[in-house]
Amino acid sequence: MGIFSLNFSSSNTCSVYKSTSSYNSDIICTLKDGKIYKKTSTYSSDVLVTISNGKIYKGTSTYSSDVLYSISDGKIYKGNSTYSSDVVCTIQDGKMYKGNSSYSSDIICNWNDGKVYRGTSSYNSDVLYTLSDAVTIAEFFAIWHVVNYVY
């Protein structure tokens, strides 16, 4: 199973599980219709981020003042910026790199068959989380943000 489709509009439903689990009790968050919810919830009060038109917003907002990240050509930018100095990370070839880098020493994570691994590892002990379905680049980074900065 691949993780990415390259379009930015998706009506995927994807569960994000702790490590290699597939138990409902281990769901970290749920992606549904461009929104990421706490655990298994789909209540609007439990929306952590919204993904729309290549942007990731706080909560249920789609106001420009609430843009957390913008995504363009595999680059993740802070806020509404598209300046190279504001690149948070680069996503390419199944890997996420720090900033504008594409050096193996700058790999933050990599993925294969729905499993997201720490750094360059491919060991089950280094699985950070497991995705139940394919996601877009924007959805992937929104999930990364929620797992690493919201929880």
Question: What's the CATH code of the domain at 106?
Answer: 2.40.160
pLDDT-wise least confident of 25-29, 102-106, 147-151: 147-151
Kindly indicate the confidence band of residue 3, based on its pLDDT and cuts at 50, 70 and 90: low
pTM of the model: 0.91
Q: Please state, for a pLDDT cut of 90, what percent of the chain lies above it.
A: 90
The H-assigned helical ranges of 1-151 are: 137-145
Total domains present in the chain: 1
Which amino acid belongs to residue 124? N
- Could you tell me the residue range of the domain that residue 108 belongs to? 4-150
C-alpha 42/C-alpha 5 separation (Å) is 23
- Tokens at 111, concatenated: 């993925």
